[in-house]
């Protein structure tokens, strides 16, 4: 579970939203005399999501001159306590100088900021919503806390983040060197990650790489786009879609930027969009333009995706423009291996978002990369494999003392992480580690996912 802080200047509607999320349970928290009302905390429900919500609204009735300073300190405290901040604006008033102050605090202090344009139940708030894009905090979610509107959109935005926090919490659980039984290993992650959850995909790439075209085509292929979330259009940050039978949520950075229309902030926005998209995603599709592939920006985002441990699929778009397809493909593969060695084994798919060619293969590569990212290899098989690897190519013996790799086990998935128990692991050369990682990738068929391999000392 996660903690959401409602942040913003007085009277934007934080309390109203707090009350709506917490409902009747509020009374238990709030009505106790003597409890300081500076920060209120409650257990929120939004659809199937359960989380803690913090409200900084307690000061709204305060009248002393130091209100601003206290509000500021309170906000900073709430931001520290929260996993996600929901920055609220009054859409009818647009962005005020006081809002800018809060936006600045959030930009500096919070990793995850969502923007809500409240009181947007009428068209009179359209201008205010547009202004909100200029804050550079992403796509404002139009809500009306008072009328309960926009709650489905809020849910749609929170859900992938909630998943990400769940996954993160699991990743950070201490690695264990207790050997799992094969049964346990075969169970994988268990019910936390039920297969029915939509696969979270981000399409990232430079402006004009064709992200919008690709996403529109994917949405166009979803003949089944109905059901409870059908009302969620491209206004939302993530789009539910059933693509070729696979439920997905696609993080739409292109749509966000198109609406921003703030040219001078384009670069800044696209970098932060990319970051957000990568954090949200399970699979990151790095979309390249065949006419200008592997630009700095492409390399940076691909590298980021790898470091964040996401599954990566590289798609080369506008393939319809290419005449010498064979030669070009060989050239791209060579460049890819040279420029992005850390993504070795990631699939490179050629597509045309415009004509639709190659999209079957792209779909399959995404599903495959996701599956591999989630994979768990049974410990017995791993150790058989390790024995073979050691025989084929024994580790070096610096100073006459052979480094012994005794035994290994997979300690996590998403992406797969392995621990090897070894004597003097600090002496093991990088080249030997690469030998093992490449071997794992090939022998267990794990393309398109980062593999984490760590060594623990055991003499
Ligand atoms: P975005 O900024 O990444 O969202 O890029 P867009 O989807 O807006 O596409 C930029 C331009 O490239 C538009 O003029 C598209 O029509 C064009 N485009 C996108 N995909 C393809 C493709 O597969 N082939 C060709 N020839 N043009 C494409």
Question: Where along the chain do its domains lie?
Answer: 3-165, 192-373, 379-457
Taking a C-beta distance cutoff of 8 angstroms, is the pair 242, 248 a contact? yes
Taking a C-beta distance cutoff of 8 angstroms, is the pair 11, 90 a contact? yes
Strands (E), 318-444: 348-350, 405-412, 417-422
Query: Which atom, in ligand 1's list, is nearest to the CA of 215?
Result: 7
pLDDT at 261: 45
pLDDT at 156: 84
- Residues 6+ positions from 410 with CB-CB distance below 8 Å: 185, 376, 377, 379, 382, 416, 417, 418
Say if residue 33's pLDDT is above 80: no
CATH of 192-373, one of 3.40.50.300, 3.40.50.1820, 3.40.50.2300, 2.130.10.10: 3.40.50.300
Question: By C-alpha distance, which of 200, 116, 182, 87 is closest to 378?
Answer: 182
pLDDT band at 216; cut points 50, 70, 90: confident
Instruction: Please tell me which residue, 253 or 433, carries the higher pLDDT value.
Output: 433
Q: Alpha helices, DSSP H only, in 227-324?
A: 253-260, 266-280, 296-307
pLDDT at 9: 86
Ligand 1 pocket residue status of 96, Cβ below 6 Å: no
Q: Alpha helices, DSSP H only, in 82-210?
A: 97-109, 126-133, 151-171, 182-187
Q: Output Rg (C-alpha) for the chain, integer angstroms.
A: 25
The kind and range of the H/E element at 371 are helix 359-373
pLDDT band at 57; cut points 50, 70, 90: low
In CATH, 379-457 is 3.30.300.20: yes
- Residue 43: alpha-carbon gap to chain centroid: 24
Alpha-carbon separation of residue 54 from 38, 86, 156, 426, 459 (angstroms)? 10, 10, 20, 45, 49
pLDDT at 61: 46
In angstroms, the CA 459 to CA 457 distance is: 6
pLDDT band at 29; cut points 50, 70, 90: very low
CB atoms within 10 A of CB 383: 15
In angstroms, the CA 299 to CA 73 distance is: 39
> What is the rounded average pLDDT of the residues 213-219?
87
Q: Positive or negative, the Cα torsion across 438, 444, 447, 452? A: negative
Taking a C-beta distance cutoff of 8 angstroms, is the pair 251, 273 a contact? no
- Residue 285: alpha-carbon gap to chain centroid: 12
Ligand 1 pocket residue status of 352, Cβ below 6 Å: yes
pLDDT at 195: 39
* Residue 30 DSSP symbol: H
Taking a C-beta distance cutoff of 8 angstroms, is the pair 42, 25 a contact? yes
Q: Which of 206, 208, 319 to mutate to test the pocket of ligand 1 (most atoms within 8 A of CB)?
A: 208
Asked if the domains at 3-165 and 192-373 fall in one CATH topology, the answer is: yes
Taking a C-beta distance cutoff of 8 angstroms, is the pair 199, 243 a contact? no
CB atoms within 10 A of CB 67: 13
In angstroms, the CA 362 to CA 347 distance is: 9
Please tell me the residue having the least CA distance from ligand 1 atom 25.
318
Query: What is the overall mean pLDDT for the chain?
Result: 80
* Residue 181 DSSP symbol: P
Query: Which atom, in ligand 1's list, is nearest to the CA of 352?
Result: 23
Say if residue 59's pLDDT is above 70: no
Say which range, 41-50, 158-167, 201-210, 282-291, has the weakest mean pLDDT.
158-167
Q: What is the pLDDT of residues 284-341, one digit of tens each?
A: 999 999 999 998 888 988 998 998 899 999 999 999 999 999 999 999 999 998 998 8
- Residues 6+ positions from 445 with CB-CB distance below 8 Å: 372
Taking a C-beta distance cutoff of 8 angstroms, is the pair 92, 125 a contact? yes
In angstroms, the CA 91 to CA 124 distance is: 9
**Share of the chain residues as helix, strand and coil, in percent rounded to the nearest 5:** 45, 20, 35
Question: By C-alpha distance, which of 248, 257, 258, 282 is closest to 372?
Answer: 282
Say which range, 80-84, 219-223, 288-292, 353-357, has the weakest mean pLDDT.
219-223
Q: Alpha helices, DSSP H only, in 13-66?
A: 14-22, 26-30
CA terminus-to-terminus distance, the chain: 39
In angstroms, the CA 97 to CA 72 distance is: 14
In angstroms, the CA 8 to CA 103 distance is: 8
C-alpha angle 310-314-319 in degrees, rounded to nearest 5: 160
- For 4, the token pair is 């959401």
Taking a C-beta distance cutoff of 8 angstroms, is the pair 441, 407 a contact? no
- Residue 370: alpha-carbon gap to chain centroid: 14
Ligand 1 pocket residue status of 316, Cβ below 6 Å: no
Looking at the domain covering 3-165, what would its CATH class be? Answer: alpha beta
Q: Which of 207, 210, 211, 298 to mutate to test the pocket of ligand 1 (most atoms within 8 A of CB)?
A: 210
- For 10, the token pair is 């007085």
Q: Which of 297, 325, 353, 357 to mutate to test the pocket of ligand 1 (most atoms within 8 A of CB)?
A: 353
Ligand 1 pocket residue status of 320, Cβ below 6 Å: yes
pLDDT at 193: 34
pLDDT at 145: 93
Q: What is the pLDDT of residues 413-454, one digit of tens each?
A: 888 989 898 888 888 999 999 999 999 998 998 888 899 898
Say if residue 188's pLDDT is above 50: no
- Residue 204: alpha-carbon gap to chain centroid: 12
């Amino acid at each position: 579970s996660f903690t959401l802080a409602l942040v913003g200047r007085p009277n934007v509607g934080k309390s109203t939203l707090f009350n709506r999320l917490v409902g009747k349970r509020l009374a238990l928290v709030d009505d106790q005399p003597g409890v300081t009302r500076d920060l209120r905390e409650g257990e929120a429900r939004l659809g199937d999501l359960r989380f803690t919500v913090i409200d900084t609204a307690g000061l709204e009735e305060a009248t002393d001159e130091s209100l601003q300073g206290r509000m500021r300190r309170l906000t900073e405290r709430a931001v520290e306590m929260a996993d996600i901040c929901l920055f609220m604006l009054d859409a009818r008033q647009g962005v005020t100088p006081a809002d800018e102050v809060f936006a600045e605090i959030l930009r500096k202090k919070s990793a995850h900021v969502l923007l809500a344009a409240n009181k947007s139940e009428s068209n009179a708030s359209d201008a205010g919503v547009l202004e909100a894009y200029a804050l550079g905090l992403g796509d404002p979610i139009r809500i009306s806390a008072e009328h309960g509107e926009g709650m489905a959109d809020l849910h749609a935005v929170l859900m992938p983040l909630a998943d990400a926090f769940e996954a993160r919490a699991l990743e950070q659980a201490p690695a264990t060197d207790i050997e799992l039984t094969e049964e346990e290993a075969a169970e994988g992650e268990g019910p936390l990650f039920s297969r029915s959850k939509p696969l979270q995909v981000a399409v990232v790439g430079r402006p004009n790489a064709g992200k919008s075209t690709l996403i529109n085509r994917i949405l166009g292929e979803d003949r089944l786009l109905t059901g409870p979330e059908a009302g969620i259009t491209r206004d939302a940050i993530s789009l539910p879609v059933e693509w070729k039978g696979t439920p997905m949520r696609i993080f739409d950075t292109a749509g966000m930027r198109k609406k921003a229309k703030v040219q001078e902030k384009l670069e800044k926005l696209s970098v932060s969009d990319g970051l957000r998209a990568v954090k949200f995603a399970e699979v990151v599709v790095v979309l390249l333009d065949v006419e200008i592939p592997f630009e700095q920006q492409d390399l940076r985002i691909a590298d980021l995706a790898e470091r964040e441990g996401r599954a990566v699929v590289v798609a080369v778009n506008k393939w319809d423009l290419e005449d010498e397809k064979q030669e070009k493909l060989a050239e791209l593969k060579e460049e890819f291996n040279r420029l992005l060695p850390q993504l070795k084994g990631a699939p490179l798919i050629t597509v045309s978002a415009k004509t639709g060619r190659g999209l079957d293969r792209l779909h399959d590569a995404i599903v495959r990369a996701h599956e591999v990212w989630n994979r768990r290899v049974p410990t017995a098989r791993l150790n058989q494999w390790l024995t073979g690897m050691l025989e084929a190519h024994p580790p070096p013996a610096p100073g006459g003392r052979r480094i012994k790799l005794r035994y290994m086990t997979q300690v996590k998935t998403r992406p797969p992480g392995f621990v090897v128990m070894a004597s003097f692991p600090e002496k093991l050369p990088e080249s030997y580690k690469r030998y093992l990682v490449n071997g794992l990738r090939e022998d267990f068929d794990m393309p398109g996912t980062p593999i984490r391999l760590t060594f623990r000392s055991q003499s």
